[in-house]
Amino acid sequence: MNAPGEPRGRQGWLRTGCAIALLAALAALLFGVSTRGFRVVTSDGARQVDLARSPATLPAIELTDAHGARMPLAAAGDGRKTVVTLLYTHCVTVCRSSASGQAYLQAELVRRGLAGDYRLLSISFDPWRDTADVLRAYGRKNGADPALWRLATVSRDEDLPALLDAFGVVVLPDGLGDYSHNAAYFLIDAHGRLARAYDIDRPDVVLADMVHARH
């Protein structure tokens, strides 16, 4: 005898098969939406696809750079396109990759005659430790030319959540005074919009897009 609720005969199995197929199709649809057409499987990848489709308006956040100059986030490039990374200077993991990538881009911008079209910006999400003096020392250590590569942090601590949310950066205290966080290169276009995101280990792709945009 069939147990209560158990499908009966061929018709029951057909109903069960249809239900399974429907659930599978629904799961595939949801996965396809969350991965932007199956092109990405991570939130960072999803952000790349979304920004390439539709640049995002940046919040009205003010930054203060290593020399005390204040500037709106959206206008940090002084009318030029700006490649942005988020970091903190005490980081000994992924931030080293972002700093070395920015140094690489700085050298290539000069070598290829693109310095008039782009600026580089590294924003610290640790304003309590990354004071102007610390940012200047970090810039010198990494060979940052202040005319091309600026280091800054938020002018107001309370703007930090909005900054992280705008770039999709998640920062988690590790309990030892440091942070775990994701990272990427971001492009702010000449109109002050967040227009692109790139994998943090591919500054060469960022450069390729810069060169392509010039032609």
Taken as a whole, the chain contains a residue count of 215
What is the separation of C-alpha 42 from the centre of its chain, rounded to a whole number of angstroms? 12
Strands 149-154 and 118-124: parallel
**How many other CB atoms are there within 10 angstroms of residue 46's CB atom?**
17
- 8 A C-beta contact, residue 90 and residue 129: yes
Give the separation between CA 8 and CA 14, rounded to whole angstroms. 10
Give the separation between CA 5 and CA 66, rounded to whole angstroms. 69
What is the separation of C-alpha 74 from the centre of its chain, rounded to a whole number of angstroms? 15
pLDDT for 36-72, tens place per residue?
443 333 456 676 777 778 889 999 999 999 999 999 9
Nearest to 64 by CA among 157, 140, 1, 138: 157
- Helix, strand or coil, per DSSP, at residue 149: strand
pLDDT for 134-174, tens place per residue?
999 999 999 999 999 999 999 999 999 999 999 999 999 98
pLDDT at position 33 over 70: no
What is the DSSP-derived secondary structure letter of residue 49?
Answer: H
pLDDT for 105-139, tens place per residue?
999 999 999 999 999 999 999 999 999 999 999 99
Percent with pLDDT over 90 in the chain: 67
pLDDT for 194-210, tens place per residue?
999 999 999 999 999 99
Percent with pLDDT over 70 in the chain: 78
Burial class (CB within 10 angstroms; exposed 0-12, middle 13-18, buried 19+) of 76:
buried
Nearest to 203 by CA among 87, 104, 131: 104
pLDDT at position 31 over 60: no
- Point out which residues pair with 171 in neighbouring strands: 181
What is the separation of C-alpha 71 from the centre of its chain, rounded to a whole number of angstroms? 20
DSSP run (H or E) holding 65: strand 62-65
- Helix, strand or coil, per DSSP, at residue 5: coil
Statement: the pTM of the whole predicted model exceeds 0.85 = no
